Amino acid sequence: MTNGDVELHLTNRGGAITEAVLLNHTGENGSRVALNAPDRIPIGAIVEQPDATALPEFSIAKQADGSVEFERKTPEGVNIRKRFFFRPDTEKKDNFVAEMDVDFRNDGAQPYNNAGYFITLGSTRPIHPKDMSSYTRLAWSVNGKANGIDVNWFAAQNYPLIGVQKREAKPFYREKVDNAEWAGMTNQFFTDLITPLNAKAVELWARPFDIKQVEGPTLLGIEGAMGLPGFQVQPGQTATMRFQLYTGPKLYGRLAKLEHNEAEIMNFGMWKLVSQFLLNFMNLIHGWVKDYGVSIILLTACVKGVLWPLQNKANRSMRKMSALAPKMQELKEKYKDDPTRMNQEVMKLYKEHGVNPVGGCLPMMIQIPIFFGLFSMLGQAAELRNASFLWVHDLSQPDTVAHIPGLGWPINILPLIMGATNLWLMRMTPKTGDSTQQKVMMFMPLIFLFFCYNFAAALALYYTTQNLFTILQLYQNRRQPAPVLEKVAPAGKRSRKGRP
């Protein structure tokens, strides 16, 4: 069953989906990306208990309209018919939405009472062997807010530093929820989501499983199910349950068009608005230039253009503070035994010369939400998968060009260039603040290098480009006349200036 974007492999075991093969997305070995696997629980099976190993057998028939129907009769005389079909394509591409309708027709003589049932969600596993384990998770949404647990939840938990066990390891997760809108299995870039269209989920279940590799450590996957409330069907009546299935990449623009907050699967966190804006803007630029590397450079240029006047003002403030450094040193020597008086005199000095001591920090403070918004966004932007730029083969992964012999450490070029531009920028920036602050600032390049080194190359490309723009701006500012230290007239005197 296929629509040109996704191919659903169906099985009569549970009347469900064993795999969803994405026809236009490839993995590391060049094969097509497949969600779930035949040896795990399928997607869309109906079970009484989520850990059931035996699934009921259905008859299967393909219909003239391309849909597939499954049917079975229960011992209670209830005929269960499941129908899978793709919705009419509303987009030119990226159509990953299907529907599963389930009819419970009571052919018996007594009312059929269902106390509650589970819909299996299938499984998920890391896309790349070095993916952060927090990406492999069960996720769900309650009142438009995403929740989830990842594979790390099942391990024993200890109190930090002291090593005392806080909680023993758990073989499975099972919790009641308050009317979840959807639930699904997700990894770094792909997800399968099931959205009940005429009910809400009331329970969730998940368990981890091992993934053996030919080389390297054993990885962890996770499989899950969601519980739905019970219902009653009178003799001769039919109850219909409808489910929307999304099996595809985590494309924010595509998920945002769905009607049940499915885009929350991105889980951008507290920087959600920043991440959404940057992702949408990057995709808008890509629609014009058709190259994600160029799109990131142009995105950087636009952000830098907006911050350019603020950075100019900050640079002037830092140059004034640098010029005031000798006077500040005199005050520190003069009042070295009276720190309170020294601080008062320093602030008075700032005020007399119209210097804002935090003016140079404002652009850096604004960059913090941008950095973490990018960090959150680029870590899940499926659009960047396999997008190449210069020597970078995949902007969603580190740009490793080689490994250090004997150690196996990766050599990632873009983060190293970013670190070099950070050092260049520090040498050009006027020295302000005390020696302690200057020492702290010396560690900033190392901190950024730590964040970016094994992360998506797109983040290092963004910050390398930003550093180069900032260096250009500093060169321009340094060519301007040096600031003249003049005392600023008090506000009252300025207001009377020019009066008769």
Least confident of 97-101, 103-107, 264-268, 324-328: 324-328
All structural domains of the chain = 6-267 (2.70.98.90), 289-478 (no CATH)
Rounded Cα gap, residues 276 and 376, in angstroms = 10
pLDDT higher than threshold 80 for residue 322: no
pLDDT digits (tens, 9 = 90+) for 444-474: 667 777 778 888 888 889 889 988 888 887 7
DSSP string, 190-232: EEEEEEESSS-EEEEEEEEEEE--SSSPPEEEEEEEEEEEEEE
Average of per-residue pLDDT across 38-65: 89
pLDDT higher than threshold 70 for residue 207: yes
| pLDDT band for position 500 (cuts 50, 70, 90) | very low
Cβ(36)–Cβ(136) below 8 Å: no
Q: Which residues contact 121 (CB under 8 A, 6 or more apart)?
A: 43, 138, 183, 184, 185, 192, 194, 223, 224, 225, 226
Average of per-residue pLDDT across 379-384: 85
Mean residue pLDDT of the chain comes to 82
pLDDT higher than threshold 90 for residue 180: yes
Return the closest-CA partner of residue 45 out of 24, 70, 16, 83.
16
User: Percent of the chain having pLDDT more than 70?
Assistant: 79
Q: What does the buried/exposed string (b/e) look like for 128-162 if buried means 16 or more CB atoms within 10 Å of the residue's CB?
A: beebeeebbbbbbbbeeebbbbbbebbeeeeeeee
| pLDDT band for position 165 (cuts 50, 70, 90) | low
Edge-to-edge strand order for the sheet containing 238-249? 59-62, 68-73, 78-86, 97-106, 238-249, 190-196, 182-186, 137-142, 145-150
pLDDT digits (tens, 9 = 90+) for 108-147: 888 888 889 999 999 999 888 777 788 899 999 998 888 9
Least confident of 317-321, 455-459, 480-484: 480-484
Cβ(349)–Cβ(335) below 8 Å: no
* Per-residue model confidence (pLDDT) at position 355: 64
Rounded Cα gap, residues 334 and 342, in angstroms = 8
* Per-residue model confidence (pLDDT) at position 84: 95
pLDDT higher than threshold 60 for residue 435: no
* Per-residue model confidence (pLDDT) at position 69: 93
Least confident of 49-53, 441-445, 476-480: 441-445
The two three-digit tokens of residue 284, written as one number: 């808008």
The two three-digit tokens of residue 369, written as one number: 């939400």
The two three-digit tokens of residue 53, written as one number: 């190993």
DSSP string, 261-311: SGGGGG--GGGHHHHHHHHHHHHHHHHHH--HHHHHHHHHHHHHHHHHHHH
* Per-residue model confidence (pLDDT) at position 85: 93
Average of per-residue pLDDT across 300-312: 80
* Per-residue model confidence (pLDDT) at position 371: 79
The angle that helices 292-323 and 362-378 make with each other, rounded to 10 degrees, is 160
Please tell me the number of Cα atoms within 13 Å of 423 on its side-chain side.
7
pLDDT digits (tens, 9 = 90+) for 385-415: 888 898 988 888 888 888 788 777 888 888 8
pLDDT higher than threshold 50 for residue 239: yes
| pLDDT band for position 354 (cuts 50, 70, 90) | low
366 vs 242, more confident: 242
Least confident of 10-19, 79-88, 166-175, 405-414: 405-414
| pLDDT band for position 335 (cuts 50, 70, 90) | low
Rounded Cα gap, residues 321 and 449, in angstroms = 28
Most confident range, picked from 63-67, 129-133, 216-220, 303-307: 63-67
DSSP string, 415-478: HHHHHHHHHHHHHHSPP-S-HHHHHHHHTHHHHHHHHHTTS-HHHHHHHHHHHHHHHHHHHHHH
* Per-residue model confidence (pLDDT) at position 227: 94
* Per-residue model confidence (pLDDT) at position 440: 54
pLDDT higher than threshold 70 for residue 352: no
* Per-residue model confidence (pLDDT) at position 213: 76
* Single-letter amino acid code for the residue at 59: S
* Per-residue model confidence (pLDDT) at position 341: 72
Q: Which residues contact 262 (CB under 8 A, 6 or more apart)?
A: 141, 182, 193, 195, 246, 255, 256
Q: Which residues contact 442 (CB under 8 A, 6 or more apart)?
A: 426
169 vs 307, more confident: 169
pLDDT higher than threshold 50 for residue 498: no
* Per-residue model confidence (pLDDT) at position 315: 63
The two three-digit tokens of residue 281, written as one number: 């803007």
320 vs 368, more confident: 368
- Please state the separation of Cα 43 from the chain's center in Å: 24
Global confidence as pTM: 0.81
480 vs 210, more confident: 210
* Per-residue model confidence (pLDDT) at position 209: 92
- Please state the separation of Cα 55 from the chain's center in Å: 35
* Per-residue model confidence (pLDDT) at position 30: 76
Return the closest-CA partner of residue 216 out of 393, 28, 26.
28
